[in-house]
Structure 1
Amino acid sequence: MAGKVVLITGASRGIGAAVARKLASEGATPALVGLEPDELKKVAEDCGPDAGWWEADVTDLESLRTAVEAIAERYGRIDVVMANAGIAAPGFTRSMDPAVWERVLDVDLYGVWRTVHLTLPHLLESKGYLLLVSSLAAVVHIPGLASYNVAKAGVEAMGNTLRAELKHLGVDVGVAHMTFVDTDMVRGVDEHPVFGRVRTGIPLASRVYPLDFAVDKFVQGIKKRSRVVHVPGWIGPMKIFRSLIPHLVELGARFNVPKADRAALADIEARGAAESSRASGAGGRADSEKATRR
């Protein structure tokens, strides 16, 4: 990774920030893109004097274009892009705030597309590597996270398509699938009075993996220009049986969703739809504030 310029979106916190620090320790030059300038600055300082940061919103094409152009001008190249920016907002589709439902897709799916669109010319020039961050949610569709499930399934499809389209041009494409990892976003979901209990009641989703474990998998995948990154490894074999998974989810939902549905309606009655279904964690709050200002 020595000398490689790695552009990471959603780099203020969580996976993005931790991967940037790890790659910097191995000689890479992180170019950090995100919403929280104070946090971005801290991460950049941890990554050394060559690292840079740019405040940009992946839902705003011109904001993101300005950042990408500035990164290319500063470093003269972009070798790796990790399209990582994402939010999660818990809520049942019939009752959650429609604006929040759509915002998740705008960040998690269309934000990835905008990142690809703007950085691809630079990756074509460097014969680089593109890593799109999907999720176990693309395979296992947990009730109460419909917008997140839809977005991450779309990201997986985008990555699979791009891999075939770009291979002959020298650009490798990877898709990362991870289950619940110890980040601000996951902790925020767990703090929700209704949906935190829904997650912990589902066997495949009940365990939260350490951040360092996930970071090592991501960095290894980037260094190898892997077509997939699985955190943990059992997600790979699970994909083989994905046609059976919705039936298992539906079976389990019979026991916990009716109660959770009533609890969600009560929470909305008490706190309002926007607050009950707002994006989780500190990063989610930053995104909500950004969306409100626009």
Structure 2
Amino acid sequence: MSGRAAADNPLRGRTVVITGAARGIGAALARELARRGARLALLGHEKPLLDAVAATVPATALTWEVDVADAAALAGAADEVRRRLGRPSAVVANAGIATGGPFATSDPALWRRVVDVNLTGSAQTARAFLPDLTDTAGYYLQVASSASLGAAPLMSAYCAAKAGTEAFAQALRAEVAHLGIAVGIAYVHWTDTEMIRDADRYTALRTLRVRMPPPARRVSPVDEVAARLAHAVERRRTTVYVPAWLRVAQAARTAVPPVVLRRTRREMPRLEAARALSATGPLGAGGRADQTAAKTQTHTTPQARTDTDTDTDG
């Protein structure tokens, strides 16, 4: 490949890891990166869905069923990725789950699980693949959220975890910059995924979203979000905001909590009076799949499972 072609296609022939790749943003991002020539390592729950995503992309894509909250299984998957696809040049920590409802009546185990998957799972993803990113002078993209910039009521576990992922990525960036590793943070707002569609079934969560000022209430198409994230991976961006107006929220983030408080102080009594405040359980099919996998894991020896029949030549 000529120098010009390599510059135009910086991901061609390079291995990219995506966690939470079975559905939603992860699956859409896999398709977008494959179109840009990347070889893919797709990690997550729901092996059949991972395989279905891999089968639709125009590139080499292998799948591993693994829980990012399970450090040993994740390390095993990382070993398999480097053996079968080579050392990754980029890793996207996208896996995430959510639950809604008042903190006071939330399930402590589920609250902790949301933090374990979103925050601890992201850190463990970075730990598992840092040797590879050091060798390739690679790129780590942490998928955070607008919840990292301003927390919302009824989503305490998710907001706490996403704020934590932002802080983790910032700390990691400062630690590894001298090694040639770039660390980016993606701030993503409402996206048309099963998680958000499921959340809209609950009166309280839907009300809090639709009462936001425009354009904050808008839900972005998942392919639009994936294209922005893929560009960030290509260009090793330090930050990416989807939609772009979130950059303003970043600049004015100290003003966000008082605005949220002022609006929700009026809404919360109405929702309580309408008995609309209750625990949602895991949101979306992905969240329910995670809960099933977590329960199964307590009864079995965890291990990363791989698709051993897939051709690895790329």
Shorter-chain TM band: over 0.9
- 1:179-198 paired onto structure 2 within 5 Å: 179-198=189-208
1:127-171, CA deviations, whole angstroms, 9 ceiling, x for partnerless residues? 100000100001121111111111011111111111111111000
**Distance in 2 separating the partners of 1:196 and 1:291:** 28
Larger helix fraction of residues:
1
**Distance in 1 separating the partners of 2:37 and 2:59:** 12
SS state at 2:244 partner: coil
**Distance in 2 separating the partners of 1:278 and 1:289:** 12
1:3-49, CA deviations, whole angstroms, 9 ceiling, x for partnerless residues? 11000000000111111111111110010000001100001111246
How far does residue 89 in structure 1 lie from its aligned partner after superposition?
Answer: 0.5
Tell whether 2:291 aligns with 1:288.
Answer: yes
Tell whether 2:253 aligns with 1:242.
Answer: yes
2:232–2:240 CA contact under 8 A, matched in 1:
yes
How far does residue 68 in structure 1 lie from its aligned partner after superposition?
Answer: 1.0
Tell whether 2:287 aligns with 1:277.
Answer: no
* Corresponding position of 2:218: 207
How far does residue 199 in structure 1 lie from its aligned partner after superposition?
Answer: 2.1
**Distance in 1 separating the partners of 2:153 and 2:222:** 24
Tell whether 2:142 aligns with 1:139.
Answer: no
* Corresponding position of 2:310: none
* Corresponding position of 1:219: 230
Number of residues of Structure 1 aligned to a counterpart in Structure 2: 286
2:152–2:159 CA contact under 8 A, matched in 1:
yes
1:278–1:288 CA contact under 8 A, matched in 2:
no
**Distance in 2 separating the partners of 1:195 and 1:186:** 10
- The one-letter amino acid paired with 1:12 is A
- The one-letter amino acid paired with 1:208 is V
1:237-276, CA deviations, whole angstroms, 9 ceiling, x for partnerless residues? 2211111111111100111112334556x665xxxxxxx3
How far does residue 76 in structure 1 lie from its aligned partner after superposition?
Answer: 2.1
Tell whether 2:263 aligns with 1:252.
Answer: yes
* Corresponding position of 1:34: 44
1:58–1:85 CA contact under 8 A, matched in 2:
yes
Tell whether 2:31 aligns with 1:21.
Answer: yes
**Distance in 1 separating the partners of 2:277 and 2:229:** 37
**Distance in 2 separating the partners of 1:267 and 1:176:** 30
How far does residue 234 in structure 1 lie from its aligned partner after superposition?
Answer: 1.0
**Distance in 2 separating the partners of 1:124 and 1:43:** 28
**Distance in 1 separating the partners of 2:64 and 2:91:** 14
Tell whether 2:78 aligns with 1:76.
Answer: no
2:40–2:59 CA contact under 8 A, matched in 1:
no
How far does residue 201 in structure 1 lie from its aligned partner after superposition?
Answer: 2.0
- Unpaired runs of 5+ in structure 2? 1-10, 299-314
**Distance in 2 separating the partners of 1:160 and 1:97:** 30
| Greater relative contact order, per chain length (Cα 8 Å cut-off, separation 6+) | 2
- The one-letter amino acid paired with 1:278 is G
SS state at 2:241 partner: strand
SS state at 1:257 partner: helix
How far does residue 109 in structure 1 lie from its aligned partner after superposition?
Answer: 0.3
**Distance in 2 separating the partners of 1:259 and 1:36:** 39
Greater Cα offset, 255-264 or 130-139? 255-264
SS state at 2:64 partner: strand
SS state at 2:105 partner: coil
Q: Normalization by structure 1: what TM-score?
A: 0.93
- The root-mean-square deviation of aligned C-alpha atoms, in Å, is 1.4
Alpha carbons of structure 1 residues 40 and 110: separation in structure 2 relative to 1, 3 Å: same
SS state at 1:94 partner: helix
**Distance in 2 separating the partners of 1:267 and 1:217:** 35
Tell whether 2:233 aligns with 1:230.
Answer: no
Alpha carbons of structure 1 residues 258 and 3: separation in structure 2 relative to 1, 3 Å: same
* Corresponding position of 2:67: 57
**Distance in 2 separating the partners of 1:267 and 1:260:** 6
- 1:120-199 paired onto structure 2 within 5 Å: 120-199=130-209
**Distance in 1 separating the partners of 2:80 and 2:28:** 23
Residue identity (%): 40
How far does residue 205 in structure 1 lie from its aligned partner after superposition?
Answer: 4.1
SS state at 1:244 partner: helix
- Unpaired runs of 5+ in structure 1? 269-275
Q: Normalization by structure 2: what TM-score?
A: 0.88
